[in-house]
Amino acid sequence: MMSFPLFALALAAFAIGTSEFVIVGLLPDVAHDLHVTIPSAGLLVTGYALGVVIGAPILAVATARAPRKAALLALIGTYAAGNLLCAIAPDYALLMAARILTALCHGAFFGIGSIVAAELVSPAKRGQAIAVMFSGLTLANVLGVPAGTALGQVAGWRAAFWCVVAIALAATAVIAWALPRTPKPQASRLLAEFAVLRKPQVILAMSMSALLSASLFSVFTFITPMLEQVTHLRPSAVTWLLLLLGVGITAGNLIGGRLGDWRLMESIAGVQLGLTAVLAALMLTLPTILPAAVTLLIWGVLTFAAATPLQMRVIDTAPEAPNLVATLNQGAFNLGNAAGAWLGAVALGAGFTYQTLPGLGALLSIAGFGATMVSMFLARRTLALAR
């Protein structure tokens, strides 16, 4: 169901996803060039995630009155400018500042973009439309990040960011040309919009998103040493398994769009239970390469099969403030990213091994399932009282 407007949104998502994660593969090069330690360079990843969390509410307010097309153009244009600063940054401090600038735009773009994507199609296909936009993000992990890393290793890490600038500018041009003009949102009081955060269903939906991301990143952050030390793979073989995981993530994103259009909450609950089982199984399959590869593929499919339905769910819980909650939910995803990585490090320090670490991801996934069950119970009780 790809159309030029959806392609434009997906292209911008590809640029954003590539910029967010390509730095991971280039940390040694960045650290050497800017004369900082690798752990210090690693803070460029953490700083980006926290920038998304901080920027989500700020940009939600800043774009609340703007026509959505104009807001998207401003956000992706600023993202291109931020990556230009990354490419020319003479020192670590300016590079960190440029990364944070780009991160501020991340949550608002995906929040507003998901609403625009849903409005481009019939209500029965809105999940698939959102999934098409998010496919740019998943393809960034499969294609953009490996290609950017390879380019950066050959031509210098700055070359990867110059490529992101070019892609972001191309996306800006295509959005300006292909996306239909959108009306200015109806006037509403910002304080009234933020009042939706008092609704239990909104908080539960964002908690489900944060727990999904925390479950993923509690394991994914340490996937390379897991595969090298438990599965005993060479670095080149690890790259192929990560590529396989990326294929699973891409497929899961497209499946998730259809699941969201089918039965939203039941699909979320089913995926969460499946994730719990797969992560528990990963502890057993990690020592052997073929079972580990199959488990990683299924893990990737299930993780992103829930992403689009969760974005749809949070929008459904607050139809009076869709821009706000859709943007804040992107902050919730990234808060989960940072929390998951931190919890994984804490668990390893507390005695978890790389082989048992997926158990932590399983616990976080079952916590998300619990939040989903509470949300479904409250929805049924509200429906029963309405009758």
Instruction: Report the number of distinct structural domains present in the chain.
Output: 2
Structural domain range at position 150: 1-180
Residues 147, 214 within the same domain: no
Q: How far apart are CA 171 and CA 13, in angstroms?
A: 9
Per-residue pLDDT of the chain (387 residues; tens, 9 = 90+): 557 888 889 999 999 988 887 887 777 788 889 988 877 777 787 788 888 888 877 887 777 777 888 889 999 999 999 999 999 999 999 999 999 999 988 888 988 888 888 888 888 888 888 888 888 888 887 788 778 878 887 888 899 999 999 999 999 999 999 888 766 666 555 556 677 888 999 999 999 999 999 999 888 878 878 888 899 988 778 778 878 888 898 889 889 888 888 888 999 999 999 999 999 999 999 999 999 999 999 999 998 899 889 988 998 888 877 778 888 888 898 889 888 888 988 898 898 999 999 999 999 999 999 999 999 999 888 887 776
What are the structure tokens assigned to 333, written together? 């995803």
Q: Where are the alpha helices (DSSP H) in 63-125?
A: 68-88, 92-119
Contacts of 301 (CB under 8 A, 6+ apart): 248, 249, 251, 252, 255
Residues 363, 275 within the same domain: yes
Residues 240, 140 within the same domain: no
Residues 199, 234 within the same domain: yes
Residues 147, 252 within the same domain: no
DSSP 46-80: HHHHHHHHHHHHHHHHHTTTS-HHHHHHHHHHHHH
Q: How far apart are CA 90 and CA 102, in angstroms?
A: 17
Residues 273, 154 within the same domain: no
Residues 238, 340 within the same domain: yes
Q: What are the phi and psi torsion angles at 186 (to 5°)?
A: -60, 140
Q: By the 8 A CB rule, do 12 and 171 touch?
A: yes
Q: What is the CATH number of the domain that holds 93?
A: 1.20.1250.20
Q: By the 8 A CB rule, do 373 and 276 touch?
A: no
In this prediction the pTM is: 0.81
What distance separates the 2 farthest-apart alpha carbons in the chain? Answer: 67
Residues 176, 257 within the same domain: no
Residues 132, 2 within the same domain: yes
Q: How far apart are CA 214 and CA 332, in angstroms?
A: 10
